Structures are given as structure tokens and as C-alpha cells.
Structure 1
Amino acid sequence: MTPVTTTTTTTAAGPATGLAPAVRLDDVCKRYGDSHAVRDLSLDIAPGEFFSLLGPSGCGKTTSLRMIGGFTDPSDGAILLGGKDVTALPPNKRDVNTVFQSYALFDHLSVSDNVAFGLKRRGVDRAGIRERVAMMLERVQLTELADRKPTTLSGGQRQRVALARALVNRPQVLLLDEPLAALDLKLRRQMQVELKQIQREIGITFVFVTHDQDEALTMSDRMAVLNDGRMQQCGTPEDVYERPANSFVASFMGTSNMVPGTYRDGAVVMDEGPALPVGPRQGIAENSRVNLAIRPEKIWLSDLAPGMARVTGVVRETVYSGPTTTYLIELTPGVTVSVLEQNTDRSRMEDRWSGGEDVEVGWLPEHCLVLN
């Protein structure tokens, strides 16, 4: 597989729809003095797409979202919504709404009045407000709570109120700034499914900011991974997880074992170990230093098949996690890989490897990546 290097001038195009992109960022930069928060960001987000901006703290994802919403002015570049240049327009002149992490609800107003707030400001007639609020509360399953105050609601219910208030205005684009971060794990996973279902039913473009890789993989049609203000890769969840563009994306998106070595004659030669066959890799120079990236779930501990790359190591730790068991295996001094096995009926407790045991691990060459 050829590693992909994302350049700063390439636009990450969305799916072909025949329509103007719902959002286009054209070489957008944001500087604070000599520091760049966002560098030369170019991407297209298609109408009706659930698009995530993903990365660690300080990578530029929230700044990018704020520039789309008009809350932060770009230092350079252009922002287009539906083909219209809105770079110089204030937030109230852009056809977008935002759901913040804090939800920003009015505690003195009822649920229905919170949802109706934007419609009243736009001068929608009372009958229209009642109809649209009722429809939106039904869609987010809050009809029975219409007269309650936000302070009496659970975190998930408050999140739904904020979502309904944003969607009732029928924006072209909905911006979501880590809206699930304050929820506990079980509720967050439930809301991930519900939020994606609502987005599909309504068909509005969602631009979702998160630092949670699992959240982005679960919800996104496509995602952009940012680091240090630059876009590292843009693609579908499967593309980004299975075919990371570089070592940062491979390590940030879940767990990826990195085995250092030298690429030579279609193999990665470990510094103090065997040559691991990987086959010809376009773009990888002979005798260059590389990382061999392999996901824990792609490594086998038993029933190794012919043609696998094989290496012997020592089990250093066994971690039981209910559905899975993770083994930490030292291949050579300083090089330890994690191996994930499903706890099926055949993987009983007494069958697990113990610390200190020698084991042979293997993986298929097509399941690994060679990264400069």
C-alpha cells in the first residue's frame, strides 16, 4: 500500500452529488501572532453529509468549526456555504446553527419555549411556531417534557433540547462542538446512535467536532483528522482506520503497533530481529527507515497461516476485559506489541497465555502498513 501524504493545497473533495458543497474551506488559515491554529485547510463537505473534525486538543478542530459558523474570522482563505462566499458575513447572516458542549439553554424557559426561541426572533407566526416546535419535540422524543424546565432534565434530555432548538430553524448546516462530551459513557453511546438517526431523517449537513476516535468512527460519513493545525487525512471511517496516511493517524486512530526497522528487498528488517515480509511498497525507498504498523486485532497468536510474517516474543502482560483479552508481547528489547483476541467459547481462561511464556505471533502482509 502506498502511504498518502496530505498536502496543504489539496482539497478533500466530498462525494459527487452534482450540487455545490454545503461547506467549502479554501486554503483557510488562522493565526494568532506568530502561531498558527489552522494551516491551509481545504476541504469540501457534501449536502446531507455527517462530517467530523477529529484530533487531539489544540489541533485546530474547534477553531475550524468557529470559522465556519462566523464566530472566528480566518486570517486567510475563503469559506463558502452552498456555493456562496460567507467569509466576511457575521454568524446571524449565515444559514448555520450551532450546538455547544454546554448546550447554552435558557433555564428560566420551558423546553418548548427554548425550542421556539429562534423562531420567535425570526418573526415566525404563532401557529407556525406551535406546529414546528411540536414536530421537532416529537422527533427528539421530548413531547411529554415540553413544559418542564431544563434544570429538571437529565444530561441526555438537555442535549436533545439543544439539538431541537438548533434544528427547528432548518439551517443548511448544523455545527456541533463536542456536544456529547459531558455525558457518561453509556449515555454517550446511546446518543451517538440517536444523533445519527436524527441526522439521516432530517437530511441536514452535520459538522461534528470531537476528540473521541470511537465517536467519529461510529457516526461519520467522512472525517478529517487534524494535528498541529494541519489536515493529516480525510476520508471515510474505514479509509482512515484501515489505511492511515501516516504514523500520526495510525497511532491516533485507535491502537496501532509500530515496529521500527529498515525496508529492504520487500521486507521490514527489525533492528534486533528477523526480516518481516511485506511485499513491494510503492513510494518506500530501499534501505529507508520505516515503521511497520499493525493493528492489535490483525495479529494472530495461534493457528498461524502459511505466508504470514512470523516473529517470536515473550508474553509480558495479560489483560482480561470481558469480551476481549489483550496480550502485551515483547518482540525484542524496547519493542512490545499488543495483541487483541476475542473471548469466544474456545478461548477459556485456562487457555490464555501466561506472563513469561514464549509465543509466536504472525500477521498477513496485506494487513500491515509501511510508513515512512
Structure 2
Amino acid sequence: MTTTTSADTSPAVRLDGVSKSYAGSFAVHELSLDIGAGEFFSLLGPSGCGKTTSLRMIGGFTDPTDGTILLGGEDVTCLPPNQRNVNTVFQSYALFDHLSVADNVAFGLKRKGVGRKEIRERVGNMLDRVQLGSLADRKPRTLSGGQRQRVALARALVNRPQVLLLDEPLAALDLKLRRRMQVELKQIQREIGITFVFVTHDQDEALTMSDRVAVMNEGHVEQCGTPEDVYEHPASTFVASFMGTSNLVPGTYRSGSVVVADGPSLPVGSRSGVTEGSNVSLSIRPEKIWLSDFTPDMAMVNGVIRETVYSGPTTTYLIELAPGITVSVLEQNTDRSRMEDRWSGGESVEIGWKPEHCLVLDGHAGRENTAPRERV
């Protein structure tokens, strides 16, 4: 989870033991975080987890109670926002409706006293980069949501900040447009090479765009890693349940299986570091469970279909393994004959999974291991 930097290169952003408390209650608690230069880094978590507070402390809009904030190796903990080489794109975009698109983008450059010729060149280049060159003379109120989002992005990037902070900038867009803008935003970040720190509560958004994701909960980072690492190998029951959908089944670990009280033994294979007889939770993603096409290396369990949910490209089956123990199974609707002959409620089925696709999480701490936390 530690970001490795060369001996002569400082992280673009370093939070060292940063905390923020309000009336004795911590919004962020002892957060240590390194974000590399040119990285697309996402702070992900539910409302109230501390992600926006962390972003505001990086930007200088909120003062930390404790700890140190460094940008490119420089201590900026006590500097105001206008003295930090960062820009912020907010959810509301905060555009000036009485100014044209070009004047909105040029606003920060004019405040800095940049010459007219350079402003014209930089604004034109940036508008072309975000595909708005033909709309330079339009007013923001005449633009679509996606276009306004690109104006806000261009206005922030034209100032060439060391770090760009983005506070849920896509949240106000409809689903189809939001997905398209996710791809465009990542492409722009790669082309420009500026460090992006992105706040979101949307797991799909974080997985789609990020080089690394920090999953936050109650003011601290539960896990930090690549999208694949965080999704495929969640370090806690919170991460497993928050990152997409995961089946979490409580039980006792015995001889390579999770034994459910008054229920079946669910094979998970031998697990190093898991104590025999300990309370655990089995975590397995719905798409990792099979309802057909089994292979010899799969663990097999019997169950009963309780619900079938069709959602276009996929069908989700809720399958009861024992009273009070239900798992979801996700199947792609790729075979027309299977689509027309889906299982119905009440049918008995056999499901299977590969033991290596399971995670066994500590039932008490909720974590996969008990190793000390590193700087993330």
C-alpha cells in the first residue's frame, strides 16, 4: 500500500498524521497518505467518512487540527488556498453566467496578470483539448451539463496547477453522460499529466478512472491500492461490502471450510494466518459463483432459488443456502436459450466456486490480516 518514490522525487501530495476534529469528534483521524506525481488518485467512501474534509485540507479551505500537509515536498499546512499550487473543480462548477466560456476559462489567468497574447493562446489550446473550441463565445447557461463540466475543468487546468482537486464533479450528471465523462476525464488527465485527487462516493466511478483508490471509513483509510487490488482483495468486511457487491457469510473456520451455524460447510481451501476455530466471514463476489458449466476444482454447495432479478445484460439469483443465509449469483445473459429458461423461485440448484476466489476475513476485526498499517 506504500507509494514508492525515487530518492530525489517527493510525492505530489503528502499528508502526514493529518487530523481534523469538530467539538471533540474526528472527521479525519491521523491520516498519512502519499500521492505520486501524475497519479489519478481517488478518495472513495460513504457520506461523512472524511473524504471531502481531506480534500479541503489539501486545498487549504479547511485547517487541520494536527499533522502536516506537503505539496511537492513543500510544507503548505499554514498557507491559504491562493498560495498553494492547486485548483479545485466543485460539484456545482461555480461558473460565472455573465461571462463567456472563454472568459470563464481566462478568469484565473487575468487575476495573475498573465499577458493578453498568452491568455488567448492558453485558453484556446485548453478549450480545444476539452472539445469546446467552437463554443468559446457561448454563455454557460446555454450549455449542457457535460459541457459546463468541461468548462470548469478547463478553467482549473489552464492555470497549470501542480495538483487538481475534484470534489464529486460528475455527481449532477445523468448516468449515461456521467459514464462518458468518466472516460473523457481520465483521457484528459493522461494527456496533461497533472496529479488528480478525486473525491467520490461512486464505486464504479473510482474503479473506472483511478490509478489508486483509498477507501475511507469513519475518518481513516480502510484500504489503499489499485482498483483491481481493492476490488479483488478487500482488506476488511467494510471494503468488501462497499466496493461493489460481495456475499459476506459469517461462520467458523474449520479445516479449509467456513462452517455456518445450523447450516452447511462452505469450502474455501487452506488459509495461512487463519486460526482453526476462529470466527470469520467468507467473502465472495456474485460473479465468481457458477450455476452451470462446473469444473472439477470447484467447491459445490446446494441451495434454493428465492428470487430472480432480470436487469438486461445480467440476471441476479438470490439463493438460500440455509435459514438466514442467502447469497447472490450474477450471470451474464449471453445465451438466448438460457435467457428464455431462467431458474424460478423455489427451484433447488447446485452452485460452485473456486476456493481461490474466496476471501476469509477476520470476524472480529473485519480485516483479512492483522499487519500494522503503512503509509498509504
Common fold: TM-score over 0.5 = yes
Secondary structure of 1:112's match?
helix
Asked whether the 8 Å contact 1:304–1:362 carries over to 2, the reply is: yes
Q: What is the alpha-carbon distance in structure 2 between the residues aligned to residue 297 and residue 216 of structure 1?
A: 19
Structure 1 runs of 4+ aligned residues shifted over 6 Å read none
Q: What is the alpha-carbon distance in structure 1 between the residues aligned to residue 295 and residue 262 of structure 2?
A: 24
Which of 321, 325, 333 in structure 1 is aligned with 2:315?
325
Which of 69, 75, 78 in structure 1 is aligned with 2:68?
78
Secondary structure of 1:188's match?
helix
Which of 104, 122, 129 in structure 2 is aligned with 1:114?
104
Residue 257 of structure 1, CA deviation: 0.4
Q: What is the alpha-carbon distance in structure 1 between the residues aligned to residue 236 and residue 87 of structure 2?
A: 34
Secondary structure of 2:199's match?
strand
Within the alignment, does 1:14 sit opposite 2:3 as a pair?
Answer: yes
Q: What is the alpha-carbon distance in structure 1 between the residues aligned to residue 91 and residue 281 of structure 2?
A: 37
Residue 308 of structure 1, CA deviation: 1.8
Q: What is the alpha-carbon distance in structure 2 between the residues aligned to residue 347 and residue 339 of structure 1?
A: 19
**Cα shift readout 1:146-166 (whole Å, capped 9, x = no counterpart):** 001111111000000000000
Asked whether the 8 Å contact 2:264–2:321 carries over to 1, the reply is: no
Q: What is the alpha-carbon distance in structure 1 between the residues aligned to residue 107 and residue 187 of structure 2?
A: 24
Residue 347 of structure 1, CA deviation: 4.8
Secondary structure of 2:340's match?
helix
**Cα shift readout 1:156-194 (whole Å, capped 9, x = no counterpart):** 000000000000000000000000000000000000000
Which of 227, 245, 256 in structure 2 is aligned with 1:266?
256
Within the alignment, does 1:92 sit opposite 2:82 as a pair?
Answer: yes
5+ residue gaps, structure 1, are: 1-11
Asked whether the 8 Å contact 1:17–1:46 carries over to 2, the reply is: no
Q: What is the alpha-carbon distance in structure 1 between the residues aligned to residue 3 and residue 177 of structure 2?
A: 31
Within the alignment, does 1:250 sit opposite 2:255 as a pair?
Answer: no
Q: What is the alpha-carbon distance in structure 1 between the residues aligned to residue 258 and residue 4 of structure 2?
A: 36
Q: What is the alpha-carbon distance in structure 1 between the residues aligned to residue 87 and residue 145 of structure 2?
A: 20
**1:205 corresponds to which letter in structure 2?**
T
Quote the residue 2:18 is aligned against.
Answer: 28
Q: What is the alpha-carbon distance in structure 1 between the residues aligned to residue 214 and residue 339 of structure 2?
A: 40
* Deviates most, 270-279 or 349-358: 270-279
Within the alignment, does 1:294 sit opposite 2:284 as a pair?
Answer: yes
Q: What is the alpha-carbon distance in structure 1 between the residues aligned to residue 212 and residue 139 of structure 2?
A: 36
Quote the residue 1:4 is aligned against.
Answer: none
Quote the residue 1:3 is aligned against.
Answer: none
- TM-score, normalised to structure 2, is 0.94
Written as runs of structure 1 = structure 2, the 5 A alignment for 1:138-153 is 138-153=128-143
Q: What is the alpha-carbon distance in structure 1 between the residues aligned to residue 231 and residue 155 of structure 2?
A: 34
Quote the residue 2:372 is aligned against.
Answer: none
Quote the residue 2:215 is aligned against.
Answer: 225
Asked whether the 8 Å contact 1:13–1:45 carries over to 2, the reply is: no
Which of 44, 47, 60 in structure 1 is aligned with 2:34?
44
Quote the residue 2:371 is aligned against.
Answer: none
**Cα shift readout 1:115-140 (whole Å, capped 9, x = no counterpart):** 00000000100000000000000000
- TM-score, normalised to structure 1, is 0.95
Asked whether the 8 Å contact 2:312–2:333 carries over to 1, the reply is: yes
5+ residue gaps, structure 2, are: 363-376
**2:103 corresponds to which letter in structure 1?**
D
Residue 208 of structure 1, CA deviation: 0.1
Identical counterparts, % of pairs? 80
Written as runs of structure 1 = structure 2, the 5 A alignment for 1:154-173 is 154-173=144-163
Quote the residue 1:279 is aligned against.
Answer: 269
Which of 190, 197, 200 in structure 1 is aligned with 2:187?
197
When the two chains are superposed, the root-mean-square deviation of aligned CA atoms in Å is: 1.1
Q: What is the alpha-carbon distance in structure 2 between the residues aligned to residue 241 and residue 145 of structure 1?
A: 40
Secondary structure of 1:79's match?
strand
